[in-house]
Amino acid sequence: MTSFTPPATPVPDLFQPSLQDWAERPAQAFEHWLAARGYRESSATVYRAMWRKWLRWAESHQRALADWSAGDIAAFLDESGLTKLHRYRYARLIERVFHQIEQQRTGTHNPASSAVQQKLAEGENDPTTFLSSAERAAIEASLEVGAQASEAAANASAFKLARDRALVAVCHGAGLKVAQVQSLLLRQVDEALEAITVERPRGPSYKAPMLEAARPALAAWLAVRAHAEVPGERVFVADSGGRVMHAASVYRRVEAWLAALPALLHRSERLSPQTLRNGYTAALFDAGADPAEVGYALGLRDATSAWRLRAAYAEWQAAAHPDGRP
């Protein structure tokens, strides 16, 4: 008589990590969480790699579990350059983890659920979208500053206005990613504001040319920052005391700026720092830059990526202007 072997069952709740475990030891807590669900080793390996990548990002941006927000998740997904499918999988994995945490503390906010509901996990990867010359002109018009802008440092509202304008300026005018903006130091900004040196933890640095129309906004912010005697070397800070500006805050401020522009209201695609980076790409191509030059300006490691961007831009132009007019 053949004996019956029952299917594998999840480990009992005895092994479920506590709320304190999630807060203090999220990597180890996740291992227990995986074990309690009896995933196949192949699936567990994938989930483990995903979770560790997310934790590295959260740690590098000084975001503890209690601080995680939908904006954080959106910033992480944008910076990681993930496909639309992988963006969704990351959001769902974090959502499942927080569902477990919710069972231990009623009323816990689930940031991944918010990200999914707000469609922040959908991304703009497929297809790649750009900004038209008219849309870029509207953004540049919003970046114009008054002659006395540098004297408004004592006013907290004016301080943040100058900063937010400059945030948009470096994304639009130099194609910087959120993490690059958040970690940007004064020494990386060219004195003439013609370029920004982007330093990477792995690999050589590169110089991103700064579009001329975006330079006045950055110059005005640097003047406001100096007038306020902001301590430290970070270009962008949360306040005049020099407090670190989190990546999620950069994301939200740029998104809010773009959402307020009437010229962009017709767009169905989500507006984000990545939208501005794609617009920067379009501006370089429109100015006559070849794929190799654009690839260097964006800091792309793979030379073929710039050629794919060139093809994507041509396809986007053809779809946006089927009559052939710009």
Q: What is the Rg, in whole angstroms, of the alpha carbon atoms belonging to the chain?
A: 22
The structure tokens 């209690």 sit at 66
The pLDDT of residue 4 is 36
pTM of the model: 0.67
The pLDDT of residue 2 is 40
Q: Domains for the chain: give ranges and CATH numbers.
A: 13-117 (1.10.150.130), 133-320 (1.10.443.10)
* Phi, psi angle pair for 196, to nearest 5°: -125, 130
The pLDDT of residue 108 is 63
Q: What is the mean pLDDT of the chain?
A: 83
On the question of pLDDT at 192 being above 80, the answer is yes
Please write the tens of the pLDDT for every residue from 133-190: 999 999 999 999 875 554 444 577 889 999 999 999 999 999 999 889 988 999 999 9
What pLDDT band is residue 119 in, cutting at 50, 70 and 90? Answer: low
DSSP class of residue 235? S
CB 25 within 8 A of CB 65: no
The pLDDT of residue 319 is 83
Rounded to whole angstroms, the Cα distance separating 83 from 279 reads: 19
More confident residue, 133 or 95: 133
The pLDDT of residue 121 is 61
CB 182 within 8 A of CB 76: no
What pLDDT band is residue 61 in, cutting at 50, 70 and 90? Answer: confident
Rounded to whole angstroms, the Cα distance separating 296 from 303 reads: 9
CA quadruple 170, 308, 91, 119: dihedral sign: positive
The pLDDT of residue 18 is 81
The pLDDT of residue 306 is 92
The pLDDT of residue 131 is 94
The pLDDT of residue 202 is 73
Rounded to whole angstroms, the Cα distance separating 37 from 9 reads: 8
